[in-house]
Each structure stands twice: as structure tokens, then as C-alpha cells.
Chains A and B, each alone.
Chain A
Amino acid sequence: MFNFSNKKRGIKRRGHALSLYLMALPGMLIIAIFCYLPMTGIILAFKDYDFSGGVFGSRWIGFENFRFFFESGVAWRLIRNTVGLNFLFMVTVQTCAVIIALLLNEIYRYRLAKIYQSVLFFPHLISFVIVGYFAYAILDADRGLINSILSHFGVGKISWYSEPKYWPGILNFISLWKGLGFFTIIYLAGIVAIDPEYYEAIRIDGGKKWHEMWYVTLPFIKPLIYINVFLALGRIFYGNFEFFYNVVRNTGQIFSTTDIIDTYVVRTLTVLGDFNMAAAAGLFQGVCGFILILLANWVVRKIDSENAIF
């Protein structure tokens, strides 16, 4: 019986392959057009783009664009902001998510815990455009909520949108607001899966709540933490474009601390029309990102191969 089915499958396999090609085709075509074709355009970073020449007709200038990108100081500012802010966000969100998940786990029996979890998760679904509205309503120099409260207490109003120094903190807070619920769910899912017997064992040995957390819960979710951390590190050169674009918008005064590679590229392209700089910055980001993602994925695979992407 088994032999027969093998034989039949063998003959049918040829016929089936055609159907499978057809099934994969449309998807692959979309990817070819929107992902692979643009990849050929990376040569633009090495050219001086002009409209008449197009991609292939423009003049080749080697690393000129990159030299300008780095020498003008733009590159370092962008790298510092992109990598620095991403790192800050990651540390903040992951730490808080773990703590909140641990706390929620303690009260998980009560239905209130599920409500809390939902409330915390809700910001994740709000589009960043709306987040931009919140930021405006809360931080506007004249009408924002915070300034109203401040002037109520006699403290002077602060022109938030003109002071670069506040923004890492502001952005970090918004990133936490948005991401906490999501990661809390992930960690909580990991925590509730821990076998209660381990807790029993600790309690029998005279351990208190804090011992339970340190010796049981944390070790069990350590792999999860590492995975989240390394995946975030792999993407450290990629900022969350929509976040920055909507909250920071085109407020030049705060660019020194808030401009990231992604927003720089889009702005340089659409507003300034400088294809060369944008192309160089974009390629730089792509290459750094590529190396880091591979590294991060390699690390994650060592920890828990199922969770690695490749």
C-alpha cells in the first residue's frame, strides 16, 4: 500500500509542479517588482543622478556621495540618533515589559488583569498619524495640555517643539506607551507557560516571592528576552519611519536629536530633491542593516532555533 502511494505520487509529481509554479508566480512577481528591482538601483548611490539620463545614463562618480555624506557631519548625527534612540527605546521597552509582565502574572487570577492587559495593548493599534495628533494636543506651545497644566501651577510654558534636548525623553516615552502592551503580551505568554511545580519547589525550600521571580520566572523567559533584544539590535539601523515622521514632522529645530536616517532620506528626496545624498544614505543603511540582521539572526538561532527567521 505504501509502495503504491509512493509510485503514484512519483508520477503525479511532475504534473503538480506546474500548478505550484503557477501558485507561486503572482507573489514572486510582486516581490520581483517591488523588492528586487529597486535593489538594482543601489548603483544610484554611486552616480550623480539627472533626470534625462535616468538610472543608467547618469554620470558615475564613485564614492563622492558617500564622502559628502560623512564629511558634512550629517552621517554621524543620523547614525547617533538612529542607533542611539533605537537602543534607548529597546532597553526601556523590554525592561518595562518584563517588569509589567511579572507584575501582571501575580494578579493574573483576577479578571482585572485581563482588562489591564487590554488597556496597555490598545495604543499599539493606533496609527502613528493619530499619535502625531496626541503629541500636538499635549505638547503644543500655546494650547497643549502640558503647558496648560504647567501654567496652572505657575511654571512657565515650555516651547517643546523648539527644544531638541527634551525629545529623546519624549520619544522614548511615546515609544514605551506604544510598545509596552505588545511585548507584555509576549512575555506574559511565556510566563504563564511555566510549570507551577518549579514554584512549588522553591517555596518548599523556603523561598519568598522575590526568589520565585529570580530563580524560576526570569531564567525561563531569558531566551525570550534575548530573542527580542537581538532582533531589535538587528534592526537598529532602521528607525520607525512613521513614528518619527508623524511626531517630529518637519520641525527643523529639533532635528539635531530627532532626525534619523529614514526621515532624512525621505525628506532629502521629496523636499530637497537631492537624489544623490538620499541614495547614499539609503544604501549605507541597507548595508549596515544587512550585516547586523545576519549577525543577530545567527545569535538568535543559537538560543532557540525555532525563533530565528532564517
Chain B
Amino acid sequence: MAKKLSKLNNKPFKMTIIAIFIPICLISIIPLWVIFVASFTQDKAISDYGYQLWPRIFSLEAYTYLFTTPGLIGRAYLISIAVTVIGTIVGVTLMSMLAYTIAHRNFKLAKGVGFYVFFTMLFSGGVVPYYILVTRYLHLKNTIWILILPLLINQFSVLLLRTYFRRLPQSIFEAAELDGAGEFQIFFRLVLPLSKPAIATIGLFSILSYWNDIYQALLFIDDQRLYPLPYFLYRIIFEHNIIQEGAQYTGTITPYQSVRMAMAVLAIVPVLSAFPFIQRFFIRGITLGGLKGGE
């Protein structure tokens, strides 16, 4: 009797599950698809018929417009890339050094530094003091530094690194110390090479946080030339002025809706292409970090 029932639970059951996932996955993709379709649709068709699941009137005008007047989005891309690259490299270096001191078994201040770093995850001063500090006292408004500096240290990443460093075999380091190696040497020659997966994972988190950040720009950047990509995209979706500027140069009518959608597609392309790597690292990050919850 039990065997018969479990047979029932096999093929057809599994087939239904596979079938159930199809609409679920479609829903996951539809929003992206709509944007993608809109970027290849003639702008007037979007104004007349709205956003559809298939281009009413196919057109490459959005993309040709973008590629002939790169000024619009090109600069934002450059800013984002610069900020991301510098921020990630510097940030990962600083974070791993910091985590190393916290994870170090013979450092007297390790616990203190640890508390110092992790306490900030509990309580934050709030936006207002932060805003006043940056604009009034640090004079970092409208500078590229404010896009980089605040995001350099991510406490969750430091935590992840600390956990990872702690689990490294200590005997190698003891041997190195015997041989006369200093902390910096141990760190750069032994610890880092051994921690490649962890470093790669937090590097990825760093890249994603820089690439997607709009918060710093939102608060502190008025100068259009310094807009990073996501903030730029944020500004153009409801505001017409920025795109209108472009029209003055070309003297033609700017296809706004489809151009906006094309810009969004271009912003997703890097993420899409890196997707397989990202997924692998996320999963690894989760297991390294010990299955933590919360975003």
C-alpha cells in the first residue's frame, strides 16, 4: 500500500511541479521583457499604444540615438565605472586588513576593534547629521569622493572576512612568524592568497553596492556631470529636461520613452552578463557567511 502511494508521488507529481514553475518564472522575467521590448519599439507607438509584450512597431531609433549622442549616458557610465573600480579595490583592501586585525589571535585590541566596527551595525546617527557633516563640515558635496568614501567599508563584509580568517590554519602563520615575517608580509603573502573565495565574494558585494548606489548622489550631487549611472537613470524617467538638452544638439525630436527604456536595458546588460558569476558567488557567500538571513 505504501509503495503504491509513493509511486503516485513520483512522475506526475514532479511533472506538475515543473509545470507550476513555468508561470512563476515567466512573471519573474516579464518586467524585464516589457522594458526590453519597449526599447526596440518606435517611440510614437509607445505614446499611442503604451507598453506591450511585443513591439507594435519595431524600431532601432532609441539605440541609434543613444549611440550617436553618447554624451547623455556615456558620462554616467564612466563615473559609475570609475567609482566602482576605485571603491572596490580600495575598499576590499581596507576591509580585509581591518578584518585581519579583528581575527588575529594575538592582537590585544582585536575585541575592541571588533566592537568598534560592529556596533555601527546596531545604531546609526541618521540622515540629518550625516548630511550636515558632509555638506557643511567636510565640504564633500558635488565631489566624486562622496560617491566613493562612505561605501568603502561594509560591516557585513568585514564580518564575513573575520569568520573566514579565523578558520584559516594558524600553524602556517606561526611558522612564518618564526621565520621572521612581519604582519604585513604574513597578510599579503599568506592570508590573502589563501582567502581568495572570501575576497572575491566581498569584492562582488562591493561592486554591486557601488554600481547600484543612488543614495549618495541623491543627497549630495547636483552637478549633472557627476551623476553616476543609476542616479542618472532615476532622474530621466520622469524628468524631461535632461533629454531635451540633447535635442538642442541634434535638432531632431528626441524619442524619449524608448530612449529611456534603451538606457535601462544598457544598464542591465553588465549585470546580465555577469549573472552566472554573481550567482555562484552569492551562493558561496551565503555558505561562507554561515547561512545568514536578511538583506
Contacts and interface: CB of A to CB of B under 8 A. Distances in A.
Contacts of B50: 140, 142-145, 147-148
Interface string A28-39: 101101111111
Nearest to B292: A307
B184 to A, nearest CB: 6
A289 B293 contact: no
B240 interface: no
B132 A41 contact: yes
Contacts of B5: 208
A241 interface: yes
Given A130-B268, A140-B50, A231-B292, A44 B260 contact: no
Contacts, number: 312
A268 to B, nearest CB: 9
Q: Is the interface of B mostly helix, strand, loop or mixed?
A: helix
Given A36-B120, A209-B13, A30 B182 contact: no
A237 B101 CA distance: 32
A17 B177 CA distance: 13
Contact of A208 (B6, B129, B218, B219): B6
A286 B127 contact: no
A107 B5 CA distance: 18
A259 B293 CA distance: 25
Interface stretch (B28-36, B64-72, B194-202): B28-36
A119 B129 contact: no
A271 to B, nearest CB: 11
Count class of interface residues, chain A: 35 or more
A72 interface: no
A177 B28 contact: yes
Given A189-B291, A282-B127, A44 B153 contact: no
A278 interface: yes
12 contacts: A8-B178, A12-B177, A24-B97, A26-B94, A28-B98, A116-B21, A122-B275, A137-B51, A143-B47, A228-B294, A246-B234, A289-B122
Interface of A: 5, 8-9, 12-13, 15-17, 19-21, 23-24, 26-28, 30-31, 33-42, 44-45, 49, 54-55, 100, 103, 106-107, 110, 112, 116, 118-123, 125-134, 136-138, 140, 142-145, 147-148, 177, 179, 181-183, 185-186, 189-190, 203, 206-209, 224, 227-229, 231-232, 235, 240-242, 245-246, 249, 265-266, 269-270, 275, 278-279, 282-283, 285-286, 289-290, 293-294, 306-307, 309-310
